């Protein structure tokens, strides 16, 4: 019996030590050289009236940009530096980054093979295997969600990801003296404690956005996505429309709607009631060429009564964004200016599509779809 016990302990120690060696092998480290920001196309709408501006940054992201907080910071700072050189940054500037811009920080400080993997599934499998004891524990303790593996993955390094997200975007807001709508990040039961982003790893996942003031601090409260799409609903919990906040900024009263939330009129009713004059919409449209495909109708929530059902399967996804999302609905809610930006790039095999959409009293429109970064500056009047 003692021999069997000794052998069992030896095997467990051997597996544990071997796993530790494998987990620590070929990690990127904090000294990885930052990736240069590629040149961004620019679009300048209107003229400076002294009332400030909304600046949409639609970056071109790669997996390597998430090697650590320093590489992400360097990438995004390059775009902001370009905007500064154009004279587009001031205390009255609100910068809008896209949905999921912070989510892939779960891949930070991992094996180099994570960033060179051709597929997101393969990359995330490596992350899970590198942290296998914790991953198995989270899988075993997952709540009643349809996709327990994704829930486990996105809770695995959530506190580190939250800290990196706050570090990067808070640092950029303070350095450039601007307000930043920091796209979004998926975190378990996130909340602000003493002004800092904190998570509860066993809690429900939310897709949230944090707004950072020019002092680098998060403006309370957090914005929670109300209408996750069907794929997200497999592991992400929805927020409540009535909880949508409006933030007081130097440029005006700002509302934030995360991606699909911009399609639902009840969200605009909340923003109008609370006096929003500006709107930021961080989005992600997965799949290359998605915007030219036929629109499949509403995803993640019941279609409003004001849509023309004949458009489903007839108009393109891009045209549907213009007809049923922010441009029309923001104007009807007395919002003076809005920007909708999309996450673009080559993040493993996920694909991406979308062009920055703007809305103001003067006009509404969308930029050209480009295979690269785009900076869109909208002056306020």
- pLDDT beyond 70 at 90: yes
CA distances from 275 to 177, 254, 278, 282, 362 (A): 25, 9, 9, 20, 20
Categorise residue 65: left if φ over 0, alpha if ψ from -120 to 50, beta otherwise.
Answer: alpha
**Measured between alpha carbons, how far is 153 from 86 in angstroms, rounded to an integer?**
40
When the candidates are 3.60.110.10, 3.30.2130.10, 1.10.15.40, 3.50.50.60, the CATH number that belongs to 2-379 is: 3.60.110.10
**Vertex 13, ends 8 and 14: CA angle to 5°?**
95
Token code pair at residue 304:
């409003």
pLDDT band per the 50, 70, 90 thresholds, residue 38: low
Beta bridge partners of 292: none
pLDDT for residue 39: 77
Distance CA 242, CA 256 (A): 13
Mean pLDDT of all residues in the chain? 92
Longest dimension (CA), the chain: 84
pLDDT at 9: 30
What mean pLDDT do residues 216-229 have? 98
Question: For residue range 45-68, what is the model confidence (pLDDT) as tens digits?
Answer: 999 999 999 999 999 999 999 999
């Amino acid at each position: 019996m003692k021999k069997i016990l000794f052998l069992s302990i030896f095997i467990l120690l051997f597996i544990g030590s071997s796993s530790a060696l494998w987990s620590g092998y070929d990690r990127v480290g904090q000294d990885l050289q930052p990736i240069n920001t590629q040149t961004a196309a620019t679009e300048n709408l209107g003229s400076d009236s002294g009332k400030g501006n909304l600046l949409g940054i639609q970056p071109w992201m790669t997996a390597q940009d998430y090697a650590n907080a320093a590489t992400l910071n360097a990438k995004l700072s390059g775009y902001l530096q370009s905007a500064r050189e154009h004279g587009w940054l001031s205390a009255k500037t609100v910068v809008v980054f896209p949905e999921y811009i912070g989510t892939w920080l779960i891949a930070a400080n991992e094996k180099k093979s994570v960033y060179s993997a051709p597929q997101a599934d393969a990359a995330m499998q490596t992350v899970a295997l590198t942290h296998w004891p914790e991953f198995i524990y989270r899988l075993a303790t997952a709540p009643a969600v349809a996709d327990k593996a994704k829930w486990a993955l996105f809770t695995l390094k959530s506190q580190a990801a939250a800290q990196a997200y706050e570090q990067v975007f808070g640092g950029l807001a303070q350095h450039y003296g601007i307000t930043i709508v920091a796209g979004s990040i998926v975190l378990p039961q996130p909340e602000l404690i003493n002004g800092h982003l904190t998570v509860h790893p066993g809690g429900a996942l939310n897709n949230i956005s944090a707004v950072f003031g020019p002092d680098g601090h998060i403006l309370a409260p957090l914005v929670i996505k109300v209408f996750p799409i069907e794929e997200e609903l497999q592991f992400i919990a929805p927020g409540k429309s009535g909880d949508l906040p409006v933030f007081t900024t130097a440029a005006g009263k700002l509302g934030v709607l995360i991606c699909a939330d911009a399609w639902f009129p009840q969200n605009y009713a909340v923003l109008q009631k609370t006096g929003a004059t500006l709107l930021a919409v961080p989005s992600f449209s997965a799949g290359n060429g998605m915007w030219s495909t036929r629109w499949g109708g509403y995803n993640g929530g019941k279609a409003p009564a004001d849509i023309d059902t004949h458009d489903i399967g007839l108009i393109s996804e891009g045209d549907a964004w213009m007809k049923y999302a922010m441009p029309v609905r923001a104007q009807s809610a007395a919002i003076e200016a809005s920007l909708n930006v999309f996450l673009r790039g080559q993040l493993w095999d996920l694909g991406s599509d979308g062009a920055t959409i703007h809305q103001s009293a003067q006009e509404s429109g969308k930029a050209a779809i480009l295979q690269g970064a785009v900076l869109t500056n909208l002056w306020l009047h």
